[in-house]
Amino acid sequence: MRRILLIIISFFIFATAFAQTHTTEVGLQTDNDAYLAQGSDRYYTNGFFLFYRHALKVTDNTSLKNKIIGLELGQKIFNAQSGRIPSPIYIDRPIAGYLYAGINLNLLYKNESNLKFSVQTGMVGPASLAKQAQTFIHNTFNLYAIDGWQYQIKNNFQLNLSAEYNKLIARASVIDLSATTYANLGTGFTGAGAGPLLRLGWFNQLFNSESTQSASIAGKSTPLNKHELFFYYKPLINVIGYDATIQGGLFDNSTDRLETTTEIKPVVFSQEFGITYVTTRWIFNIAAYTRGKETNYQFAPHQWASARILYRFK
């Protein structure tokens, strides 16, 4: 009987230690400024994203601990100071949509650093279907009639590359601090940013955490916690070189000045506050964002919230 109990206890400990070994996850994210219940409908007003991530096997004799390939579909919608613009003189931030598809590779190392490379291709302009999406949302929820999309940025094809690097700086039992950086280069978005990531709660190593989109992992892993539940704060300094949702197409010299502006702010401060909960199968995240004015004419900063849910399997 003692041997049987010992076997059962050992099996339970083993199963608990290696609980987070799912390799695939799918999910969605929705962004909207209305989630903050402030009654505004301006600037970055809505986003919708679909995700697929799959963890690839890595060998033990390398510095890699986890490797994940991901696919993403997304749409972002930008208003001026309101979703109803009676005249172009009220356009303080250009009206635009961005529709894209992307693929990424996330390399996560045993020293709790990671490199994530992404490629996105899509459209800015009427082909982004942003007007149709916002009209559908307003009609569905019986909101006011939108006006101003006749002034939106013209169609421009997008090809954008990005890289992200994160590195653990320090950790105590329920708190840790990481450095996070990114760089963008492309026909639509060029720039870079850096800042800290502070986590408080029950979290896992950066090679097996939703903080780095790596909750799924191939093979055995010994997480710090069976489930993740943590608050986080992520302030960033963003250097903006080019933004097609503000300035139009990079090679389009004929864009109407009613639609775009070249006077962007080169440095923008942003903040993200959120809570993440990861179970054996599910990933939940809610967050609130603020982002400083991006043009010299912009009436107010960006403010919005997001909700993300993913399901893990295999």
pLDDT tens, position by position, 31-87: 999 999 988 899 999 999 999 999 999 988 899 999 999 999 999 999 999 999 988
pLDDT at 11 over 50: no
Residue 176: count other Cβ atoms within 10 Å of its Cβ: 23
Count: domains in the chain:
1
Please indicate, yes or no, if residue 7 is contained in any of the structural domains.
no
167-202 pLDDT per residue, tens = 999 999 999 999 999 999 999 999 999 999 999 999
Instruction: Report how far residue 168's alpha carbon sits from residue 164's, in angstroms, rounded to the nearest whole number.
Output: 14
The segment with the largest mean pLDDT, out of 17-21, 40-44, 206-210, 252-256, is 206-210
Please indicate, yes or no, if residue 17 is contained in any of the structural domains.
no
pLDDT of residue 257: 60
Please indicate, yes or no, if residue 15 is contained in any of the structural domains.
no
Give me the mean pLDDT over the 287-293 stretch. Answer: 97
pLDDT of residue 40: 84
Q: CB neighbours of 281 closer than 8 A, spacing ≥ 6?
A: 22, 311, 312, 313
For the chain, how many residues are written?
314
pLDDT at 131 over 70: yes
Please indicate, yes or no, if residue 243 is contained in any of the structural domains.
yes
Residue 185: count other Cβ atoms within 10 Å of its Cβ: 15
pLDDT at 222 over 80: yes
Q: How confident is the model at residue 254 (pLDDT cuts 50, 70, 90)?
A: low
93-105 pLDDT per residue, tens = 999 999 999 999 9
pLDDT of residue 19: 47
Give the Å distances, CA to CA, from 92 to 46, 63, 70, 87: 18, 48, 35, 11
- Using DSSP's 3-state secondary structure scheme, residue 290 falls into strand
Please indicate, yes or no, if residue 241 is contained in any of the structural domains.
yes
- CA 89 to chain CA mean position, Å: 32
Residue with token string 């408080």: 200
pLDDT of residue 8: 41
Please indicate, yes or no, if residue 44 is contained in any of the structural domains.
yes
pTM score of the predicted model: 0.90
Instruction: Report how far residue 59's alpha carbon sits from residue 66's, in angstroms, rounded to the nearest whole number.
Output: 9
Please indicate, yes or no, if residue 275 is contained in any of the structural domains.
yes
pLDDT at 6 over 90: no
Q: Do residues 314 and 55 make contact, with C-beta atoms less than 8 angstroms apart?
A: no
pLDDT of residue 220: 77
* Domain CATH number, residue 255: 2.40.128.140
Domain hosting residue 281, numbered range: 23-313
Give me the mean pLDDT over the 292-314 stretch. Answer: 94
pLDDT of residue 17: 42
Read off the amino acid at residue 295. T
For 299, left (φ over 0), alpha (ψ -120 to 50), or beta? Answer: alpha
For 129, left (φ over 0), alpha (ψ -120 to 50), or beta? Answer: left
Please indicate, yes or no, if residue 14 is contained in any of the structural domains.
no
Q: How confident is the model at residue 5 (pLDDT cuts 50, 70, 90)?
A: low
pLDDT of residue 21: 66
Instruction: Report how far residue 159's alpha carbon sits from residue 58's, in angstroms, rounded to the nearest whole number.
Output: 30
What average pLDDT does the chain have? 91
pLDDT at 4 over 50: no
pLDDT at 204 over 90: yes
Give me the mean pLDDT over the 133-162 stretch. Answer: 94
Q: Do residues 196 and 177 make contact, with C-beta atoms less than 8 angstroms apart?
A: yes
Q: Do residues 259 and 94 make contact, with C-beta atoms less than 8 angstroms apart?
A: yes
pLDDT of residue 310: 98
